[in-house]
Amino acid sequence: MKYKRILLKLSGEALMGKKGFGIDQERLQEYAKEIKSIVNAGCQVAVVIGGGNIFRGIQAEKGGMDRVHGDYMGMLATVINSMAIQSALEVLGIETRLQSAIKMEQICEPFIRRKAVRHLEKGRVVIFGAGTGNPYFTTDTAATLRAIEIEANVILKGTRVDGIYTSDPEKDKNAKRYDTIKFQEVYEKGLEVMDMTAFTLCKENNLPIIVFDMNKLGNLMKLVNGDKVGTLVEV
């Protein structure tokens, strides 16, 4: 196994599946099965999921809502998605622990780094909810921060595109996919991988990123085993 400890970042929108809003149970179960396969293979897995299928702080701001208020609502949305993933994994017999950056004792543990690491060592999937607990940060930044804190070997960013392209493949037929790319090149070419805060945090802490298509079954297992899937961003 190439990566012993990973942080898997999932987008909230991906959970919608074909629905326009909320959580698609079929998609949720698919993701849970994918995660189960690598846990059973001995990989230590932490998960961060966005909340865009339920609420987006930035869009709410356009509608006149205070940005900070909207961001907190977005953080709560990530906790809902985290609970959904937690439940789907537990149905499959996978042990999980949910830790939130905002305290909600009745629902989950507070984020405690040392405890998170112990859970991982015991083979439990640790899900980090509520982002960083601060407004003005994205879930990509939360995922990066947690990945560094738990000393994950890599951050796996599951998207609906199968990697990083020279231009937007949904708009440009001639777009080419990179197998690997350097952090510096991403800056120079102005490619979008994560927001700059998250991306720079990865670069400065030497944390590789792999962008891959999470909706293609089996990809996660291949990645963990070191097969070339998606695009690897490295120093």
Listed ranges 76-84, 102-110, 128-136, 205-213: which one lies at the site for ligand GTP (CB under 6 A): 102-110
Is 48:142 a contact under the CB 8 Å cutoff?
yes
Q: What is the DSSP string of 185-232?
A: HHHHHT--SS-HHHHHHHHHTT--EEEEETTSTTHHHHHHTT---SEE
How would you classify residue 51: left for phi > 0, otherwise alpha for psi between -120 and 50, otherwise beta? alpha
Nearest-angstrom CA–CA distance, 65 and 80 = 21
Nearest-angstrom CA–CA distance, 70 and 67 = 5
What are 47's two structure tokens? 């998960």
Question: How near is the Cβ of 59 to ligand GTP at its closest, in Å?
Answer: 30
Q: Is 107 in the site for ligand GTP (CB under 6 A)?
A: yes
Among 18, 20, 21, 106, binds ligand GTP (CB under 6 A): 106
Question: How near is the Cβ of 125 to ligand GTP at its closest, in Å?
Answer: 12
Q: Which residue's Cβ lies closest to ligand GTP?
A: 109
Nearest-angstrom CA–CA distance, 231 and 228 = 8
# residues near ligand GTP by CB under 6 A: 9
Measure the CA dihedral 57/61/63/65, to 10°.
90
∠ CA 186-192-196, nearest 5°, is 80
Question: How near is the Cβ of 97 to ligand GTP at its closest, in Å?
Answer: 5
Give the phi and the psi of residue 44 in degrees, each rounded to 5.
-90, 125
What is the contact mask toward ligand GTP in residues 50 to 89, using x (rule: CB under 6 A)?
A: ----------------------------------------
Listed ranges 14-22, 34-42, 108-116, 137-145: which one lies at the site for ligand GTP (CB under 6 A): 108-116
Question: How near is the Cβ of 48 to ligand GTP at its closest, in Å?
Answer: 17
Cβ closest to ligand GTP, residue 113 vs residue 122: 122
Cβ closest to ligand GTP, residue 49 vs residue 233: 49
Cβ closest to ligand GTP, residue 91 vs residue 196: 91
Question: How near is the Cβ of 130 to ligand GTP at its closest, in Å?
Answer: 13
The SS3 of residue 178 is coil
Cβ closest to ligand GTP, residue 106 vs residue 174: 106
Q: Is 109 in the site for ligand GTP (CB under 6 A)?
A: yes
**Which spans of this chain sit near ligand GTP (rule: CB under 6 A)?**
97, 105-110, 118, 122
